[in-house]
Amino acid sequence: MEDMQMSIIEHLAELRKRIVISIGGLIFFSILGYSFITDILKIFTKPVGKDLVYLVPTEAFFTQLKLSMFVGFLLALPIILYQIWRFVLPGLKKEEKRYLLVLVPLSYIFFLIGVAFAFFIVIPFGIKFFLGFSSDGLEAMFSLNKYISFIIKILIPFGIIFELPLLITLLVKLNLITSNFLKNKRRYVIVSIFVLSAILTPPDIISQAMMAVPLIFLYEFSIVVARIIE
């Protein structure tokens, strides 16, 4: 009983250590991001191609703070993933350790690919589409806070959905699913993808479709990967 209590205490101490390191990394990179916030804002507002406005005195400050924390999260994510991996490492089998050693860095790379895809392709196209509704006497004005929130709400889900091939690869490697299973469930998955896109993206059909289509492509790509692995 005493050994069990010591084990629990040791696990909690280890968990605390990993959380503290992760939070420390997040704070450090958020501060670093804030020190370059002017340049970062220029990059994030480039797709809209016009000046933004802020509607209350505190909006600019808190929006810059939010953006610096988002950038800090992107930069600190490798540290956070490594701390998670170090925490679960003792309880893993040799084969599982080998899989995670590859999947953890790849998950970060795929997340960044998803974020980059959204930022350089999806967002410019979406903004151009919506600006097309401007007309005489109707001019688009973007609030700084709402614009940055809109961008972040698109970037994070796209980063997450680009993890799909890795997740399916892991499940196939663990013999939990097969390529035939994925093919047989295709129609249900496609419906689920559109439902998920409606939940994760802003409430307009263009944003939802621009998430759903790449996700369907990733699912089909995952089927091919699963077939190769088998």
Q: What is the per-residue pLDDT across 160-181, written as a single tens digit (0 to 9) for each?
A: 888 888 888 888 877 788 888 8
Final residue before a domain boundary, out of 80, 115, 144: 144
| DSSP codes of every residue in 151-198 | HHHHHHHHHHHTTHHHHHHHHHHTTS--HHHHHHTHHHHHHHHHHHHH
- The separation between CA 107 and the C-alpha centre of its own chain, rounded to angstroms, equals 10
Residue 42's SS3 state is: helix
Residue 136 pLDDT class (50, 70, 90 cuts): low
Alpha-carbon gap, residue 144 to 149, rounded angstroms: 8
What pLDDT sits at residue 35? 94
What pLDDT sits at residue 7? 76
Phi-psi region at 208: left, alpha or beta (left = phi > 0; alpha = psi -120 to 50): alpha
Identify whether the C-beta of residue 206 lies closer than 8 Å to the C-beta of residue 126: yes
156 within domain boundaries: no
Residues 101 and 169 in one domain: no
158 within domain boundaries: no
155 within domain boundaries: no
53 within domain boundaries: yes
In the chain, the number of structural domains is 2
Residue that is written with structure tokens 């703070």 in the block: 65
Residue-number span of the structural domain to which 112 is assigned: 2-144
Residues 18 and 105 in one domain: yes
104 within domain boundaries: yes
Kindly report the pTM of this predicted structure. 0.82
pLDDT above 90 for 22:
yes
Residues 127 and 209 in one domain: no
Closest to 77 in 3D by CA, of 114, 22, 7: 22
Residues 28 and 125 in one domain: yes
Residues 124 and 200 in one domain: no
Identify whether the C-beta of residue 160 lies closer than 8 Å to the C-beta of residue 114: yes
Residues 117 and 201 in one domain: no
Residues 27 and 102 in one domain: yes
Q: Which of 1-5, 146-150, 158-162 has the lowest mean pLDDT?
A: 1-5
200 within domain boundaries: yes
Residues 16 and 122 in one domain: yes
152 within domain boundaries: no
